[in-house]
Amino acid sequence: MRQSPGKPPAVSERPTRIAVDLDHLAFNLRSIRAHVGVPVMGIVKANAYGHGLVPVARHLQAQGVEQLGVAFVEEGIALRQAGVTTPVLVLGGIFGRQVAQFIAHDLEITVSSPDKLRQVEAAAQAMGRKAVIHLKIDTGMERIGVHSYSSKAFIEAAVASQWCALKGIYSHLACSDDPHSSMTAQQVERFLEACSHIERIGAPMPLRHLANSGGVLHFPDTWLDMVRPGIMLYGVQPDPASLRTVDLKPVMSLASQVVYFKVVKEGHPVSYGATWAPERDTRVVTIPIGYGDGYPRALSSRGEVLIRGHRYPIVGRVCMDQFMVDIGQDSAWNEDEVMLIGSQGDEALTVEVLAQRAGVIPYEILVGLNDRIPREYRGA
Ligand SMILES: *Cc1c(COP(=O)(O)O)cnc(C)c1O
């Protein structure tokens, strides 16, 4: 094609891209709501599990999600700077020096110790503005939070605080991905026991929330006043043991294009380390994505892709920016679409299967896909 004079050629778009289906995101939110019947805190930490923090949060807000949850204050600030106005809870542990930023950006604070409560009060008082807080109770995760069995004084101090508005009280489930674990019932019991102290001292009950995706899928006792689904919002099951009790659609797909075709002779090894060689002459195509994009190197000679509606194996090691696929005696052409996550024809490759092949959890696949891959948003 001719360029008009003086105009630089259009910057070429990377052929490898993540498509985020916002209609599926909205579908999953509706499914979760219908299942639990309580308000939802949509978890959008870690770049919305790789789907893009701001576009996902904006869409959830447009769908009327009651609350958003992130891990770090920086993620909350990014949401505010993008104009997201939905209440945001920062789930992670805080440092005293960060409290002013929370308050300035209207972010809700996880208060996970008496010491941190004092730090929040001091900063709020200094600013002359109340901090909105959720108390974190440890019921068995041993991560952050005050042990349920010694939380009474902590709860009383929070209730009595002049500079903290007590909006929520919560805990986190350690084993909810497994519907058969007895740990969850124990955690529910410990959590409700801690909450009952608020009742006992005659204070109004804040929002009690406990359920991650596993809780939503398997344990109605954990739903309480609000649920905190993350991975299931994106249409992915948390664990191979998890049950499909909620109808979900995958939000992410990942596609690339064939960039090279060659015939590899019998016995000639492919890629670093010469770990794989064909037993007879075969056709091999190269795909321009690798572990530098977060595509797991563990899929070396274990992963699969879809080309022209057929499933083909990855052969040899996944490189930083490329890997090779054996198409046998079939045909493929440069620029043919290659699906790495998603469907093509009658075939589909899910994040769950990819994770199993790579020996990781689905979360790692999603959040591993990095900013080198452009995201495009469909639907809505
Ligand atoms: C990440 C996180 C969630 C969401 O977990 P999923 O398993 O993705 O649903 C909920 N609550 C807390 C405190 C979290 O850190």
Domain total of the chain: 2
| CA of residue 228 to ligand 1 center, whole Å | 6
Contact 134, 110 (CB under 8 A): yes
Full DSSP string of 206-275 = -EEEEE-HHHHHH-GGG-TTEE---GGGGT--SSTT----S-----EEEEEE--EEEEE-TT--BSGGG-
For residues 175 and 259, state if they share a domain. no
Residue nearest to atom 1 of ligand 1 (CA): 230
238 lines ligand 1 (CB under 6 A): yes
Residue 9 has pLDDT above 90, yes or no: no
Supply the CATH number for residue 99's domain. 3.20.20.10
For residues 219 and 285, state if they share a domain. no
| CA of residue 34 to ligand 1 center, whole Å | 20
Burial of residue 331 (CB within 10 Å: 0-12, 13-18, 19+) is exposed
Residue nearest to atom 15 of ligand 1 (CA): 91
Residue 294 has pLDDT above 60, yes or no: yes
Last residue of a domain, one of 234, 269, 302: 234
For residues 209 and 86, state if they share a domain. yes
Closest ligand 1 atom, residue 177 Cα: 7
Residue 3 has pLDDT above 50, yes or no: no
pLDDT (mean) for 95-120: 98
170 is catalytic: no
Q: How far is the CA of 142 from the CAs of 15, 133, 138, 174, 217, in angstroms?
A: 44, 20, 6, 9, 23
For residues 226 and 259, state if they share a domain. no
Mean pLDDT of the chain: 96
Q: Is residue 30 part of a domain?
A: no
For residues 142 and 256, state if they share a domain. no
Q: Does 232 appear as a known binding residue?
A: no
Q: Is residue 25 part of a domain?
A: no
For residues 210 and 268, state if they share a domain. no
Residue 7 has pLDDT above 70, yes or no: no
| CA of residue 24 to ligand 1 center, whole Å | 20
Question: What is the best residue among 44, 75, 89, 91 to mutate for testing ligand 1's pocket, by most ligand atoms within 8 Å of CB?
Answer: 91
Full DSSP string of 33-60 = HHHH-S-BEEE-HHHHHHT-HHHHHHHH
- Is the backbone of residue 322 left (phi > 0), alpha (psi -120 to 50) or beta? beta
Q: Is residue 6 part of a domain?
A: no
272 is catalytic: yes
Exposure letters 349-377 (e unless 16+ CB within 10 A, then b): bbbbbbbebbeebbbbbbbbbeeebebeb
228 lines ligand 1 (CB under 6 A): yes
For residues 222 and 295, state if they share a domain. no
Closest ligand 1 atom, residue 363 Cα: 8
pLDDT at 13: 82
| CA of residue 269 to ligand 1 center, whole Å | 43
Burial of residue 124 (CB within 10 Å: 0-12, 13-18, 19+) is buried
In sign, the C-alpha dihedral spanning 82, 84, 85, 91 is negative
Confidence of residue 1 (pLDDT cuts 50, 70, 90): very low
pLDDT at 11: 65
How far apart are alpha carbons 285 and 218 in whole angstroms? 43
3-state SS, residue 369: coil
pLDDT at 5: 56
Closest ligand 1 atom, residue 228 Cα: 10
Residue 307 has pLDDT above 50, yes or no: yes
Closest ligand 1 atom, residue 41 Cα: 10
For residues 198 and 257, state if they share a domain. no
How far apart are alpha carbons 78 and 90 in whole angstroms? 12
60 lines ligand 1 (CB under 6 A): no
For residues 229 and 84, state if they share a domain. yes
Tell me the pLDDT tens digit for each residue of 23-82.
999 999 999 999 999 999 999 999 999 999 999 999 999 999 999 999 999 999 999 999
Q: Does 320 appear as a known binding residue?
A: yes
Share of the chain above pLDDT 70, in %: 97
Q: Is residue 345 part of a domain?
A: yes
How far apart are alpha carbons 327 and 282 in whole angstroms? 7
Supply the CATH number for residue 276's domain. 2.40.37.10
For residues 198 and 272, state if they share a domain. no
229 lines ligand 1 (CB under 6 A): yes
Which residues span the domain enclosing 335? 252-378
| CA of residue 208 to ligand 1 center, whole Å | 15
Last residue of a domain, one of 176, 203, 234: 234
Tell me the pLDDT tens digit for each residue of 69-107.
999 999 999 999 999 999 999 999 999 999 999 999 999
50 lines ligand 1 (CB under 6 A): no
For residues 265 and 214, state if they share a domain. no
Question: What is the best residue among 53, 169, 171, 212 to mutate for testing ligand 1's pocket, by most ligand atoms within 8 Å of CB?
Answer: 212
For residues 99 and 229, state if they share a domain. yes
Q: Which of 45, 49, 170, 363 is catalytic?
A: 45
| CA of residue 124 to ligand 1 center, whole Å | 27
pLDDT at 4: 52
